[in-house]
Structure 1
Amino acid sequence: HLVSMKRHERIHTGAKPHLCSRCGKSFKRLDTLKTHEQIHIRQKLYHCAQCGKSFKRLDTLKTHEQIHIRQKLYHCAQCGKSLKRLDTLKAHERIHTGEIPYHCA
């Protein structure tokens, strides 16, 4: 019952002997510290250098980074405009030829 007594004494002394190694916050009870540590585990540790978006897992970040690599792969030969999709480029190129890509119903 010594553990129970020590825990009870902390109520009166305000002692918080359980310290979080990640942020330095202290707690009276070990179980409260363990619950707190889950916050750090859930934090997103991997950040995209291009846009700053954060991810919990490295593989998810790597998949996300492909968006930036694939972005604007298609370039108009006439004006140099960059577009993400080939079909959008084809529609854009019609501006230069005078062809109307859409017809009114």
Structure 2
Amino acid sequence: GMRPHKCQVCHKAFTQTSHLKRHMMQHSDVKPYSCSVCGRGFAYPSELRAHELKHEKGQENVCVECGLDFPTLAQLKRHLTVHRGPTLYRCTECQKTFQYPSQLQNHMMKHKDIRPYICSECGMEF
């Protein structure tokens, strides 16, 4: 069928504007879905689930704060405590708190409402 909504970054085409908007998140820094284990952010729930499965299988035990790789999830969890502050990291915009700096940084992108892409067809910002 017709796919009139085209991504200006990678040229993938979509049937609906809402699908293009969702797709554009992968080209931006907005990653609203955070891993409960390591704090890494993802643009889509499916990406988060795939990542969490890697933790469960012991394939993905890299610290997002410093890049160290651990043989087990338990060791990664124990290590992550060194990055935790004495208090939680608090968002100055909405007062939500996070355990790790990377989670707060990721969250702050939502408040900035950064829309780096302007559609040449309709002028909408993403």
Common fold by TM > 0.5: no
TM-score by length of 1: 0.34
Which one has more relative contact order, counting CA pairs under 8 Å at least 6 apart? 2
- Whose helix proportion is higher, 1 or 2? 1
Larger radius of gyration: 1
Q: TM-score, normalised by structure 2?
A: 0.29
